[in-house]
Structure 1
Amino acid sequence: MRTTIIENRCMVVSYDVMNGWTVLHVAGEVDIYTTPMIRKAVARLLDEGHRHFVLDLCAAPFLDSMGLGMIVAITKRLQMHRGSLRITCADDRLLRIFGVCGWREVYRFYDSPQAATQSAPTGCGLAYWPRRLARP
């Protein structure tokens, strides 16, 4: 069951739990105005005991440098809590930004929340972050 955490004229942030992953759905632009709200939502969920996250950006049409910084801040916080982070994004423009930043090598990207949550989380997926991921 999806629960809405933030709803305003700029964005909607909601979450549900799938196969042990907390899927944080972001619908709207991820920018200087909205990133503080997303960070606050993650902090709230961490306080409630959630540790393994999928950041679903499939409905985010725009991501600026503040959005990138927010992802790093969330990652650091999850790492301190021995958590994990996966990112879903199907937009080629956003994926290109992640590629230019070198993030395609340090984060796991998926096309959908269903693909990201097929396997249950095991241990601390960020134990060695920001090292490059081993590719199969």
Structure 2
Amino acid sequence: MNISVELNTLDELHIKGFIGGEIDAFTAPILREKLTDITLLEKIHVELNLTDVSYMDSTGLGVFVGFYKSVTAANGHLELTGLSSRLKRLFDITGLVEIMDIQATDKEVKIDETV
């Protein structure tokens, strides 16, 4: 059970974060605490890179939903990037992919059937 959270302030309205490890009932409070340390200024843009997240359960989803609500309440924007297909599926089946800005790492291959 490990988690790493690195948050970098690019300028007063842009924050880029890197999250790695496992996000579960034991580590989610650490992530939540780190995210609440971000001062949510009006129109802030937060990008969180989840490339190194190896596991996430519903507790982790709850942390991201709560943070998303905080950011959008301040007229800001939250972008989750680098999601593996497994992580993206969690957001897909909960319908969160429809309301949140989520970018997966795996590119979907579309087959052209008109050949």
TM range (shorter): 0.7 to 0.9
Consecutive unaligned residues of structure 1, counting only runs of 5 or more, are 1-8, 113-136
* 1:80 maps to 2:73: yes
Taking structure 1 as the reference length, what is the TM-score of the superposition? 0.66
* Alignment partner of 2:61 out of 53, 60, 68: 68
Taking structure 2 as the reference length, what is the TM-score of the superposition? 0.76
Deviation at 1:100, TM superposition (A): 0.8
* Alignment partner of 1:44 out of 25, 31, 37: 37
For 1:21, give the aligned amino acid.
Answer: H
Aligned to 1:109: 102
For 1:52, give the aligned amino acid.
Answer: H
For 2:96, give the aligned amino acid.
Answer: W
Consecutive unaligned residues of structure 2, counting only runs of 5 or more, are 106-115
For the pair shown, the structure with the greater C-alpha radius of gyration is 2
Distance 2:103 2:10 in 1: 15
- Aligned-pair identity in percent equals 25
Deviation at 1:16, TM superposition (A): 2.1
Q: Let me know the Cα RMSD of the aligned residues.
A: 2.3
* Alignment partner of 1:89 out of 82, 102, 106: 82
Deviation at 1:18, TM superposition (A): 4.8
Distance 1:109 1:76 in 2: 15
Residue 27 of structure 1 contacts residue 57 of structure 1 at CA under 8 Å; is this kept in 2? yes
Relative to its length, the structure with more strand (as a share) is 2
Residue 88 of structure 2 contacts residue 104 of structure 2 at CA under 8 Å; is this kept in 1? no
Aligned residues: 103
Distance 1:61 1:11 in 2: 10
The 5 Å alignment of 1:112-131 reads: none
Runs of 4+ in 1 over 6 A off after TM superposition: none
Deviation at 1:111, TM superposition (A): 4.2
Distance 1:111 1:52 in 2: 18
Distance 1:100 1:89 in 2: 18
C-alpha distance 90-76 of structure 1, shift in aligned 2 (>3 A): closer
